[in-house]
Amino acid sequence: MPTEIEQKFSLAEGRRITALGEGLALGERRSFQLVATYFDTPALTLARHKITLRRRTGGKDAGWHLKLPGDGRAREEVQVPLVAGQSRLLVPAELRERIAEVVGFEPLLPVVELRTRRSETDITTPRGRKLAELCDDRVRATRRGTSRSWRELEVELAGGDEADLARIAEALLAAGAEPKDSPSKLAEALGEEVREPEPLGAGASAADVVMAYVAEQVGMILGREAGARVDAPDAVHKMRVATRRLRSTLRTFRPILDAERTEPLRAEVKWLSERLGGPRDAEVIKAHLLGVVGELPAAEVVGPVRERVAHELDQRHQETLRELEVALDSTRYRRLGDQLVGLLTDPPVLESADRKAAKVLDPLLAKAVRRVTRRWDEAMVLEDELERELVVHEARKKAKAARYAWEAVAPVYEGGKQAAVAWEQVTEVLGAAQDTVVVRERLDELAALAHAAGESAFTYGILWERERETEGAAQHEAAAAIKAAVKASRRA
């Protein structure tokens, strides 16, 4: 991996470096126009760790550049070339992997744009051996609509050694340059912003609270993509859950969001969630059914039940993984990725969201809770089993929305975390009930395949009945869980 060794200087406007003294020669000047977009987390985590990540066009090394701190002036640099059709906002997976320990699953988004007019000159020995490159940069940095400009010199070793760099530095100082302490152009552009972020407090605005939670989900979706492509443990599941959280958040807090932007995005996130659901469902159902079959008495397992369950669901898992990979390679997904980053660079919040969180969010949280109890009460008076299943499923989706809403506001509500945990219990119980519906659908399919192959369907019938019993028990338990969650919400 290439190591970059450089030193920076400042030079007053109007002054030029035309000579460096005995033993050092300057070559011809080359001029470039460079445009670099620097990426970081919303909390500027990379900058605080003295790491820079940029996408640059122009000059001789256009591409994605990741610079990692090393010893002294040395920095490790990783480059990834630009690819036609590639998103300008989605960081290449190989670079994200290199900084995973630093950023975790925080989102990476554009934080600064630098436009640089560069004059570059080789520094050589009198015999022409190249020692370094001298870059005279006029920089214009833009962040959040505000710009500032400065000039700096940068000397990067390109054939020489540390002793050569020391000689060049001494010559530049003698020619009127001054030492520059800023470790990077990004650090200079950010200035005092590079500090530990303040946690959300009771005085936070509704926009701050909701967008912080949105950022978590965007980071999880984009950060888990590489793992989902290779079916890494839990990657598909975590990515899918993040899509659900994001869709739900944009729906629950829609009154304070620009619906013209968020509603079309919710539809696209749903598309991705459905692609993620195939592999995850096959994996979970297989593990569940093999576990239940293992609990049956030997006399109730008739035929190659385990083998058929494993084969059919493994096949389904692989088919849906291939479908997921196609989706992740599509233009539609790249466009969605850009839109997700856009949520953070240009938050779709209305002016009403600038008020204190509790005043704005209290009625929205109460409404989310009422949606659950209304659906549950409707389900409990239905006598038709199929109709009741459908309405219970709706109650479960509303309970998830309440859970995610309370997760989002937990940092600024004293009892928010307890309410979120209580609603999590509701979603777990109702999820167990809904899982039995999905499992029974798969059992019907497996029984039909077994029958067509001349195998007994006896065991599938037993499993089907067990799932229906589980559903009834889960629905009974859900009533108490909902009551407890409503109480926790009122206390919060």
pLDDT of residue 194: 77
Give the predicted TM-score (pTM) of the model. Answer: 0.90
Here the tokens at position 321 are 């993984």
Which residues sit opposite 218 in a β-bridge? Answer: none
pLDDT of residue 74: 73
Band of the pLDDT at 249, cuts 50, 70, 90?
very high
Residue 197 has pLDDT above 90, yes or no: no
| Residue 294: HSE in the Cβ half-sphere, 13 Å Cα cutoff | 7
In the chain, the amino acid numbered 164 is: D
Q: What is the share, in percent, of the chain residues with pLDDT greater than 90?
A: 82
Residue 330 has pLDDT above 70, yes or no: yes
Band of the pLDDT at 166, cuts 50, 70, 90?
very high
Band of the pLDDT at 444, cuts 50, 70, 90?
very high
Q: Contacts by 238-244 with C-beta closer than 8 Å and gap 24+? A: 239/276, 240/273, 240/276, 240/277, 240/280, 242/216, 242/217, 242/218, 243/217, 243/269, 243/270, 243/272, 243/273, 243/276, 244/273, 244/400, 244/404
What are the two backbone dihedrals, phi and then psi, of residue 470, each rounded to the nearest 5 degrees?
A: -60, -40
pLDDT of residue 4: 78
pLDDT tens-digit series, residues 269-324: 999 999 999 999 999 999 999 999 999 999 999 999 999 999 999 999 999 999 99
Residue 443 has pLDDT above 90, yes or no: yes
Residue 257 has pLDDT above 70, yes or no: yes
Residue 225 has pLDDT above 90, yes or no: yes
CA distances, 137 to each of 32, 37, 178, 193 (Å)? 10, 16, 15, 23
Band of the pLDDT at 22, cuts 50, 70, 90?
confident
Least Cα distance to 230 among 411, 93, 33, 399 occurs for 93
pLDDT of residue 73: 67
pLDDT of residue 143: 93
pLDDT of residue 1: 53
CA 41, 97, 74, 29 torsion: positive or negative? Answer: negative
In the block, tokens 């008076």 appear at 381
In the block, tokens 């692989």 appear at 318
pLDDT tens-digit series, residues 385-406: 889 989 999 999 999 999 999 9
Residue 477 has pLDDT above 80, yes or no: yes
Residue 2 has pLDDT above 70, yes or no: no
Band of the pLDDT at 5, cuts 50, 70, 90?
confident
CA gap 106, 335 in Å, rounded: 20
CA gap 314, 308 in Å, rounded: 10
Band of the pLDDT at 165, cuts 50, 70, 90?
very high
CA gap 250, 273 in Å, rounded: 15
Q: Which helix (H) or strand (E) segment is 256 a member of?
A: none
Q: What is the DSSP string of 115-148?
A: EEEEEEEEEE-TT--EEEEEEEEEEEEEETTEEE
Here the tokens at position 37 are 């977009």
Task: Lowest mean pLDDT of 261-270, 288-297, 467-476, name the range.
Answer: 467-476
pLDDT of residue 232: 93
Q: What is the share, in percent, of the chain residues with pLDDT greater than 70?
A: 99
pLDDT of residue 72: 65
Q: What is the DSSP string of 210-256?
A: HHHHHHHHHHHHHHTHHHHHTT-TTHHHHHHHHHHHHHHHHHHTGGG
